[in-house]
Structure 1
Amino acid sequence: MRWTSILAIYILFWSLSVFISLPFGVRTHEEAGAELVRGQAESAPHSYDWRKWAIRTTVIATILFGLYYANYVYGWVTPADFDYTGTE
């Protein structure tokens, strides 16, 4: 596999991991004990630490990509494993 393909697939895994990691660790103003600003939604997060989110996302993406690449190299699961028609 070429390095450009590896990079593109890793970026796809990272993008997927963004949506996996976003809902975790979010606290609203009510949960944090802070006052709402006028016009602010009650569900808005109290604070946002992008470094923590980026690290968490990168770790998840690296683990998922590592599993994908190991499967690519060692062939643990192949398309033939999903052939339920009975033809070979």
Structure 2
Amino acid sequence: MEPNMGNPAGRLRRWLDALDDVRSRGDKGIMEAAAPLVGADPNTMAGRTAVMRLGVTLADLCAETRLEVHALPSTVSAELLLSDFDQIERAVDYF
């Protein structure tokens, strides 16, 4: 199922899905996998900087997602919706 790109959680999911298989290769793997996503060369300073900016973007999407979930009506359990969200935030910490 394709994530909904109309909200921060969907955009975040897209990036994390793209990077999931390279986490085991450490920093170099993440750098090599993420660089094409941002149109950069991972062997240059500009490319590594672009990947780090992607990390900041992902962290911002995490924060936006939390805010939007907490802004939902009180009939929706934000705690339940975010119960596993810390796993996503830990994945973003790889950047």
Whether TM-score is above 0.5 comes out as no
* More relative contact order, 1 or 2 (CA 8 Å, 6+ apart): 1
Higher gyration radius (CA)? 1
Given the two structures, how large is their TM-score scaled by the length of structure 1?
A: 0.34
Higher percent of residues as helix: 2
Given the two structures, how large is their TM-score scaled by the length of structure 2?
A: 0.32
